[in-house]
Structure 1
């Protein structure tokens, strides 16, 4: 049975992706700092949950020691600090970079080592609007997501010819959730619809691999 490992799992996009991949026959492994929040999703999908700080080298290594044979690895964690540039707290900026970019490097490196050994696999990195345009009072998030995008592009150029598919997904808009209900007709991205785009990337024939796609509501400006 194929296996998918979703890092940074919660009740949004990652939950939609876990449900979809479970329906498609994947064995699901979930990783999050707080696994208690995953109880319902674990029960629904039959997933295995692991406690993991995505920015910790030791935690990520331990996670892959247990779940390293995954055919699909999705990196979904995010951390954001906002405010006027001159007032930003350095420790918060550092944490943003660690979670958004360094953690992605740690997970992708662990995944790539195993996938290269067998000559196949898919690594998907969840990006954001901030990875292609920096917003005012959001410099740390832009730094982290720009770095994530660069990581994906460099990995794709190196790993695609070796049989490992790497893709970066720009989520350009807000995602609908219980805390963020629909504000207008299709003004927020449906997480189930985003998950379908991830599945498309997983299934892409290698003769037409994408290294990056953007998804946004049809009313979103860009």
Structure 2
């Protein structure tokens, strides 16, 4: 009998955190990477032998088609996309705000909906069908000045995750929101000389995703925050 690797889907792939998570999962999962830009995924997909799907995360038909095209129900689904519009509240364009919230919140809902639709059909392994994770930010806990659209989207995403967790945990699906509470040391970025150790390393964050995926269901986490060790709370 040929054993196949479990399916993992990562939506919103770039060269930073999502790439680190993909590399973390590639050794024991068959990966499907999805993003608006095919170019951003090409090199990583070639490196990892991953399948790619060009995708607008706010398009429900496209999101549904992504999950319908998988050879079997995914065991891991990760949603990364978000959008920001900065500016004084009195000057923000409603259309710009609406578009930002569509990506961060509605896209997360669509991914959660169609991921759940398939993961619920997976055969449980030790009572667990799969894991759905959403990449959050500190803006989902505290709104910052001139950043209302990002806070709106991340607060909605956090609420979505909590609701999904309460509904789906008893059905064997682990749902969690990861609060990335700090700047990420993505390729091309450097830490300020006066603040060494102040940024989160993508590969270290990726290991937190791995931990959530492998958590025992008797102690599932539905929300976790990661932040630099030098931060004063």
Question: Aligned equivalents of 2:134 and 2:232: distance in 1?
Answer: 23
- Alignment pair present for 1:168 and 2:177: yes
Q: How does the TM-score come out when normalised to structure 2? A: 0.92
Deviation at 1:179, TM superposition (A): 3.0
Q: Contact 2:13 / 2:40 at 8 angstroms: preserved in 1?
A: no
Q: Deviations over 1:132-181 (max 9, x none)?
A: 00000000000000000000000001110110000000000000022321
Question: Aligned equivalents of 1:221 and 1:79: distance in 2?
Answer: 27
Deviation at 1:185, TM superposition (A): 2.1
Deviation at 1:114, TM superposition (A): 1.3
- Alignment pair present for 1:126 and 2:96: no
**Secondary structure at the counterpart of residue 149 of structure 1:** helix
Q: Contact 1:111 / 1:123 at 8 angstroms: preserved in 2?
A: yes
Q: Deviations over 1:56-112 (max 9, x none)?
A: 111111111113621100000011000011111111101111110101110111011
Task: Find the structure with the greater CA-based Rg.
Answer: 2
Question: Aligned equivalents of 1:159 and 1:178: distance in 2?
Answer: 36
Residue of 187, 196, 204 corresponding to 1:185: 196
Deviation at 1:117, TM superposition (A): 2.1
- Alignment pair present for 1:43 and 2:52: no
Match in the other structure for 1:56: 59
**More helix per residue: 1 or 2?**
1
Structure 1 segments (4+ residues) deviating >6 Å: none
Question: Aligned equivalents of 1:107 and 1:178: distance in 2?
Answer: 27
Match in the other structure for 1:117: 121
Match in the other structure for 1:31: 34
- Alignment pair present for 1:97 and 2:115: no
Match in the other structure for 1:22: 26
Question: Aligned equivalents of 2:230 and 2:99: distance in 1?
Answer: 33
Match in the other structure for 1:195: 206
**Secondary structure at the counterpart of residue 120 of structure 2:** helix
Match in the other structure for 1:149: 158
Question: How many positions carry a matched residue from both structures?
Answer: 221
Q: How does the TM-score come out when normalised to structure 1? A: 0.97
Question: Any stretches of 5+ residues in structure 2 without a counterpart?
Answer: none
Match in the other structure for 1:215: 226
Tell me: CA distance 1:198–1:209, structure 2 relative to 1, closer, same or farther (3 Å). same
Question: Any stretches of 5+ residues in structure 1 without a counterpart?
Answer: none
Q: Deviations over 1:33-57 (max 9, x none)?
A: 0011211101111111100000111
Deviation at 1:221, TM superposition (A): 4.0
Question: Aligned equivalents of 2:48 and 2:232: distance in 1?
Answer: 35
